[in-house]
Amino acid sequence: MRLALEAMATRFELVIADDADAHRLRASGQEALAEIARAEELWSRFRPTSELAWINAGAGGAPVRVGRETLRLLSRCARFANATEGAFDPTLGPLLRLWRVGETDALARPDPARIAKVLDLVGMQRVEIDEAASTVRLPQQGMQLDLGSIGKGAAVDMALEVLQEHGIRSALLHGGTSSVRSIGMAPGGQPWRVGWRLPGVEEAFPVTLDGVRPALSVSAPHGRRVKAGGDTWGHVIDPRTGEPVPAGSALVCGPCAAACDALSTAVLVLGAAGPPLVAELFPDCEALWHAGPSA
């Protein structure tokens, strides 16, 4: 059974390969996909009613009350930001705005003084997360969270949990082919296999998903680009320097899609230094990085 959902500016596809009753599978699949829509409601920076938008709108003001899922996701973000020494940092919203990421009418490359000024607004360690009070506060006006690097993975995990609660034993879910998570074995009792496409490389690199590492995420700047005059740049920015990552592809496999998603973005920023860092700090994950052509 195949189901799909357009959400988070991409297409999510779910394959359920279970042999249970088709009506029951469809109902489970639809309930799972509804979780993705709910994740978008919670965490889209572009929806004024999302919890993330409330936090951003309150920057420099009083703490904002949010639900447990948002608190938990932001606490995880803080841990990933800390572990990757800021290569992954979802407070880079002001940098995305400066570089016009996600906008079509790109302007010129920002000048270094403006980049330096905007960098003052970036830093996950400054976000005040109060678990006891269920509040989040961005301490300075102009600060802005963006969960583009982890939201898809977190949504895939939420959907997978619903399928597991319904007793589904074989399924594969992906968002835009960049965040993937599986349950059990593929039809025929084989592990689920996916291909990692690298630009300029003829054959896709085969990756196997199993019970230990059922999730994977890929990041690359060539996916989406901003053009300005003769200049182009990708949508992943190094929050430490404020500069877009020019080239490369990163893949991370692991136990859940959210961790893989955050870490694949970090590995793209870190380059060759990324996989050893993941191996050391996240031994349940495996990271690969490919230099690739420039963006």
List contacts with ligand AMP (CB under 6 A).
88-90, 92, 96, 101, 146, 148-149, 178, 219, 235-237, 239, 261, 264-265, 268-269
Task: Rank residues 31 and 243 by Cβ distance to ligand AMP and give the closer one.
Answer: 243
Rounded-to-integer distance, Cα 29 and Cα 108, Å: 45
- Helix, coil or strand: residue 184: coil
CA distances from 239 to 41, 88, 194, 292 (A): 26, 7, 30, 21
Residue whose CB is less far from ligand AMP, 43 or 168:
43
For residues 209 to 228, the per-residue mask of contacts with Mg ion, x marking binding by CB under 5 A and - elsewhere, is ----------x---------
Single-letter amino acid code for the residue at 280: E
Give the C-alpha separation, 61 to 54, whole Å: 11
> Which of 30, 6, 3 lies closest to 14, judged by CA?
3
Which of residues 53 and 237 has its CB atom nearest to ligand AMP in the complex? 237
Q: Of ligand AMP, Mg ion, none, which one sits near residue 77, judging by CB under 5 to 8 A according to partner kind?
A: none
CB atoms within 10 A of CB 188: 6
Q: Is 187 helix (H, G, I), strand (E, B) or coil?
A: coil
3-class SS at 201?
coil
Stretch that binds Mg ion, among 15-23, 34-42, 43-51, 149-157 (CB under 5 A): 149-157
Give the Cα separation of 143 and 182 in Å (integer): 36
* Between 168 and 216, CB nearer to ligand AMP: 216
Q: How far from the centroid of its chain's Cα atoms is residue 284's Cα?
A: 18
Closest separation between CB of residue 265 and Mg ion, Å?
A: 4
Q: Which does 274 bind (CB under 5 to 8 A by kind): ligand AMP, Mg ion, none?
A: none
86 binds, among Mg ion, ligand AMP, none (CB under 5 to 8 A by kind): none
Q: From the list ligand AMP, Mg ion, none, pick the one residue 239 interacts with, judged by a Cβ distance below 5 to 8 Å according to partner type.
A: ligand AMP
**How far apart are CB 268 and ligand AMP at their closest, in Å?**
6
Which residues form the interface with Mg ion (CB under 5 A)?
Answer: 149, 219, 261, 264-265
